[in-house]
Amino acid sequence: MGLIDFIKRIEPDKEKQPFLHTLYDGFYTFLFVPDHTTKGGVHIKDGMDLKRLMIYVVLALQFCYLFGTWNVGHQHFVALGIYDDSYFSGFHLKIAYGLIKIIPLFVVTYIVGLGIEFWTASKKGHGIEEGFLVTGALIPLIMPPDLPIWILVLSVIFAVIIGKEAFGGTGMNIWNVALLSRVFVFFAYPTTISGDEVWVSGIEGMSAGAAVQYGWWETGFFNSIFEALGWATFDPSATVVDGYTGATPLTLAYQGGWERVTEVYTAGQMWWGAIPGSVGETSKPMILLGALLLLGTGVASWRIMVGMLVGAAISAIGLNLWGASPFMDVPWYYQFYMGSFFFAMAFMATDPVTASSTNRGKWIYGFLIGFLGMIIRVMNPAYPEGWMLAILLMNTFAALIDHYVYQANIKKRLARV
């Protein structure tokens, strides 16, 4: 009790220091579970609040962060033709390089996003809203590792202010805030988030002989540590190896179907995630582990996940039957090996604020995301992926879906009367 008593004693005055009190309240409720429970009623209320609910999602995302950190480094060294013979070859260099790229994205996202939330909460005179705990963890995972920091800052400002605060804050937003950050980058600065070169970081280009772009963290900080330990170090004279391509499996599938994809990547590489892509989207087992945690804790809806899986499978089978392009001929089950389907299913479509809330509505909502997303992926030449656009589209219609579900239930009950 000594710590909590001390923290209560340093509480700033809410009237005289509103901003400091807002900061204090946010950190206090982050450290301690609320002590209020229902008294004398039939309902039981435990100590769970929104912050702790959001923390479950953040914990589930750590599987993606762990693998993504390694894969950013792995893809970098594959491009150089170094340490590409084994997943564990040059492991310390891959982890170090991944941390150099991911930590700035993570830190800047939270500084900007939470800064806006703190300021907004102090102006409104209420406690800090917790929604950005998850949004801030999602945004770095859906961005390229070399995204310029100033573009990241603009995307976070747009997503938080226009996508959430303009609608009233956490719980009031219509669209998924993390996806709004990505869609801002996609439409405002498309060359930084599309093409073959953006998914592999730290090199000047994909052509043979292109030089690495190392800074003080690689050649100064980490090299000094690795030299002292007698380990391999970053080589600033390394160049891109002959014949390397940084194309994602989706790009290759659009160019020449499944045969073109398997010329570069094996099915195992795509499943385990040792391929170019956004930081958190590549490893399907890690994503599914996070999904199981969300399902086990009751945070995410299994109806949305299953509905999306069924919708995507039916759409992919229909495209196989049509077979009008090489991409349509990709076996429907291999569509799940490529791209960000599982990440979108586990962490984006299940956002409880922007998804449908009725049980039947969740089935419809998830099914339509899977069905439409697969069509966008295969048939849109400008953007060989579809989940971002499909989820934002269905976010728009989520309330309408629930409305018709409610109306159907009302009519059914009136018919009984």
| Angstrom distances, CA of residue 155 to CA of 41, 100, 183, 275, 277 | 46, 21, 8, 25, 19
Distance between terminal CA atoms of the chain? 58
**Pair 49, 33: CB distance under 8 Å:** yes
For residues 175 and 53, the model is more confident at 175
**Pair 162, 119: CB distance under 8 Å:** no
Q: Quick one: which H or E segment has residue 64?
A: helix 50-80
**3-state class of 212 per DSSP?**
strand
Same domain, 369 and 302: yes
Residue written as token pair 């891109």 = 240
> How many residues are present in the chain?
417
* Residue where a domain stops, chosen among 189, 206, 223: 206
**Pair 286, 273: CB distance under 8 Å:** yes
163, part of any domain: yes
Same domain, 96 and 202: yes
Same domain, 303 and 201: no
Tell me the C-alpha distance between 25 and 273, whole Å: 40
For position 167, what pLDDT does the model report?
84
CA angle 339, 293, 306 (to 5 degrees): 55
**3-state class of 399 per DSSP?**
helix
For position 234, what pLDDT does the model report?
97
353, part of any domain: yes
pLDDT at 35 over 60: no
32 falls in which pLDDT band (50, 70, 90)? low
Same domain, 186 and 289: no
Same domain, 120 and 202: yes
For position 202, what pLDDT does the model report?
93
Tell me the C-alpha distance between 133 and 135, whole Å: 6
184, part of any domain: yes
| Residue 382: burial class (beta carbons within 10 Å; 0-12, 13-18, 19+) | exposed
240, part of any domain: no
pLDDT at 237 over 60: yes
For position 126, what pLDDT does the model report?
63
Same domain, 282 and 398: yes
Same domain, 119 and 201: yes
**3-state class of 211 per DSSP?**
strand
- Listed residue (230, 382, 256) closest to 328, CA to CA: 256
Per-residue pLDDT of 356-395, as tens digits, reads 999 999 999 999 999 999 999 999 877 778 999 999 999 9
Same domain, 401 and 337: yes
| Residue 51: burial class (beta carbons within 10 Å; 0-12, 13-18, 19+) | middle
Same domain, 277 and 182: no
Among residues of the chain, what percentage have pLDDT more than 90?
Answer: 71
- Listed residue (198, 240, 236, 199) closest to 214, CA to CA: 236
The mean per-residue pLDDT over the stretch 255-261 comes to 94
Mean residue pLDDT across the chain: 88
Same domain, 182 and 296: no
- Helical spans, DSSP H, in 276-301: 284-296
Amino acid at 385: E
* Residue where a domain stops, chosen among 206, 222, 238: 206
Same domain, 197 and 252: no
The mean per-residue pLDDT over the stretch 85-111 comes to 95
Per-residue pLDDT of 131-144, as tens digits, reads 788 999 999 999 99
pLDDT at 38 over 60: no
pLDDT at 42 over 70: no
224, part of any domain: no
Domain range for 390 is: 247-417
45, part of any domain: no
8, part of any domain: no
Q: How many domains are there within the chain? A: 2
Q: Give the other-Cβ count within 10 Å of 171's Cβ.
A: 13
409, part of any domain: yes
Among residues of the chain, what percentage have pLDDT more than 70?
Answer: 86
Same domain, 168 and 289: no
Of 21-35, 52-66, 308-322, 374-388, where does mean pLDDT reach its minimum?
A: 21-35
44 falls in which pLDDT band (50, 70, 90)? very low
Tell me the C-alpha distance between 347 and 339, whole Å: 14
